[in-house]
Amino acid sequence: KAGVTQTPRYLIKTRGQQVTLSCSPISGHRSVSWYQQTPGQGLQFLFEYFSETQRNKGNFPGRFSGRQFSNSRSEMNVSTLELGDSALYLCASSLSVAQGSSTDTQYFGPGTRLTVL
Amino acid sequence: AQKITQTQPGMFVQEKEAVTLDCTYDTSDQSYGLFWYKQPSSGEMIFLIYQGSYDEQNATEGRYSLNFQKARKSANLVISASQLGDSAMYFCAMSSNNAGNMLTFGGGTRLMVKP
| pLDDT band at A102; cut points 50, 70, 90 | low
- Whether A48 sits inside 8 A of B102 (CB atoms) is yes
pLDDT in tens, B14-34: 999 999 999 999 999 888 999
What pLDDT is recorded for position B98? 75
- To the nearest whole percent, how much of chain B has pLDDT over 90? 86
Looking at the complex, report in whole angstroms how far the Cα of residue B43 sits from the nearest Cα belonging to chain A: 6
- Whether B101 sits inside 8 A of A106 (CB atoms) is yes
User: Residue B1 pLDDT > 90, yes or no?
Assistant: no
Number of other CB atoms surrounding residue B112 within 10 Å: 13
- Whether A100 sits inside 8 A of B43 (CB atoms) is no
How high does pLDDT run on average in chain B?
94
- Whether B102 sits inside 8 A of A42 (CB atoms) is no
What pLDDT is recorded for position A104? 82
What pLDDT is recorded for position B70? 95
What pLDDT is recorded for position A100? 57
What pLDDT is recorded for position B97? 75
**Average pLDDT of span B2-15:** 96
Q: Which of A41, A88, A102 should we substitute to test contact with B (largest number of B Cβ atoms within 10 Å)?
A: A102
> Looking only at Cα atoms, what is the longest distance across chain A?
41
* Phi, psi angle pair for B17, to nearest 5°: -90, 165
- Whether B105 sits inside 8 A of A43 (CB atoms) is yes
Distance CA B78, CA B66 (A): 6
What pLDDT is recorded for position A99? 60
Residues of A in contact with B98 (CB under 8 A): 100
Looking at the complex, report in whole angstroms how far the Cα of residue B95 sits from the nearest Cα belonging to chain A: 5
Q: Strands, DSSP E only, in B19-87?
A: 19-21, 24-26, 32-39, 46-52, 60-61, 64-69, 74-79
Looking at the complex, report in whole angstroms how far the Cα of residue B33 sits from the nearest Cα belonging to chain A: 5
* Phi, psi angle pair for A26, to nearest 5°: -60, 140
User: Residue A98 pLDDT > 90, yes or no?
Assistant: no
Distance CA A40, CA B96 (A): 25
Looking at the complex, report in whole angstroms how far the Cα of residue B50 sits from the nearest Cα belonging to chain A: 8
**Average pLDDT of span A95-111:** 79
pLDDT in tens, A9-48: 999 999 999 999 999 999 999 999 999 999 999 999 999 9
Judged by DSSP in three states, A97 sits in: coil
- Whether B43 sits inside 8 A of A106 (CB atoms) is no
pLDDT in tens, A36-84: 999 999 999 999 999 899 988 999 999 999 999 999 999 999 999 999 9
Q: Could you tell me which of A102, A94, A78, A109 has the C-alpha nearest to residue A14?
A: A78
